[in-house]
Amino acid sequence: MNDRPMGDQVLELDDVSFRRDGREIISGISLSVKAREHWALLGANGAGKSTLMALCGAVNHPSSGTVSVLGERLGRVEMKALRRSIGHVNPRHQILAPLTIRQVVLTGLTGSNELSPRWEPTHAELAKADALVEQFGLAPKAGLRWPTLSQGERGRALIARALISSPELLLLDEPCTGLDIAAREQLLETIDDLAYTHPRMASVLVTHHLEELPATTSHALLITAGQAVAAGRAAEVITSENITAAFGHPIDVEYRHERWTARTGRSSRHGSHRRHAEEVAVP
Domain residue ranges of the chain, discontinuous segments joined by +: 1-85+167-239, 94-166
CB 11 within 8 A of CB 169: yes
Q: For the whole model, what pTM was predicted? A: 0.87
- Other Cβ atoms closer than 10 A to 144: 16
Q: Give, to the nearest 10 degrees, the angle between helix 181-197 and helix 151-163.
A: 20
- pLDDT at 120 (0 to 100): 84
Residues in contact with 195: Cβ distance below 8 Å, sequence separation at least 6, in sequence order: 36, 38, 216
Percent helix, strand, coil in the chain, to 5, is: 35, 30, 35
Cα dihedral 108, 25, 246, 92 sign:
negative
The tens-digit pLDDT sequence of the chain (283 residues) is 444 444 488 999 999 999 998 889 999 999 999 999 999 999 998 899 999 999 999 999 999 999 999 989 998 888 888 888 899 998 887 777 788 999 999 988 877 777 777 778 899 999 999 999 999 999 988 888 988 988 899 999 999 999 999 999 999 999 998 889 999 999 999 999 999 999 999 999 999 899 999 999 999 999 999 999 999 999 999 999 999 999 999 999 999 989 999 998 765 444 444 444 444 444 4
CB atoms within 10 A of CB 215: 14
pLDDT on residue 266: 64
Cα separations in angstroms, 282 against 117, 276, 278: 77, 10, 6
Domain 1-85+167-239 architecture: 3-Layer(aba) Sandwich (3.40)
What does the pLDDT read at residue 3? 46
Say if CB 206 and CB 51 are below 8 A apart.
no
Map residue 38 onto helix, strand or coil: strand
Strands 9-20, 72-73: pairing kind: unpaired
Cβ burial 108-137 (10 Å sphere, 16+ → b, else e): bbeeeeebeeeeebeeebeebbeebbebbe
pLDDT value of position 98: 86
